[in-house]
Amino acid sequence: MPEPTVILDATAIQRALTRIAHEIAERNEASTEVVLVGIPVGGDHLAARLAKILSGIWNHAVPVGILDVTMHRDDLDSRAAPTVHPTDIPFDVNGKTVVLVDDVLFSGRTTRAAMDALNDYGRPKKIQLAVLIDRGHRDLPIKADFIGKNVPTSLDEKISLRLTEADATQDEVILKKT
């Protein structure tokens, strides 16, 4: 069994988030139109951290929501029921630029489900996608706008993350062979 590799440690995660936040700011001049929506588990913490960095760049608060996508998944018939997390979008998404935030981009199916789920809340002006890790192997024509790190992987590898909402020092992203 090969040793698991640490892809990102706490410092590298924070650095990646800071860079993503600046890229979001650069891409979206109308800062008051931008809202962040994290996909649990993982994306919700990252969204909260990105919002904190962005509010520092823009000097105003950036709204953050949580969007559970389990009810919109396309694999519900072929697996045990996934854990349903509460959705909390405390703002109107109509006309906004919604930045979806997820931890790992893999098949793209979670992102597809997220875009469908978001539709039920209104019609955003734009949807952008920010991920901490892009590990490749897409099943759908989906591409991230903001990427923390590209990690070429094989299908038998597993990426696990330890993330906290505070900028904790124990955070890390690990790559394991299964």
Q: Which residue, 120 or 165, is less far from another protein as judged by CB? A: 120
Nearest approach, Cβ of residue 70 and another protein (Å): 8
Cβ of residue 65: shortest distance to another protein, in angstroms? Answer: 12
Element (H, E) at 172: strand 172-177
- Contact residues toward another protein (CB under 8 A) are 68, 70-73, 76-77, 79-88, 116-117, 120-122
Least distance to another protein, CB of residue 83, Å: 4
Nearer to another protein, 67 or 105 (CB): 67
Q: Toward another protein, which CB reaches closer, 4 or 82?
A: 82
Distance from C-alpha of 27 to C-alpha of 33, rounded to nearest angstrom: 12
| Minimum CB distance to another protein smaller for 66 or for 151 | 66
CA–CA separation, 100 and 121 (whole Å):
14
CB of 77 to another protein, least distance (A): 7
Rg (CA), the chain: 16
Residue with tokens 């405390």: 90
SS3 152: coil
Rounded distance, CA 20 to CA 147, Å? 7
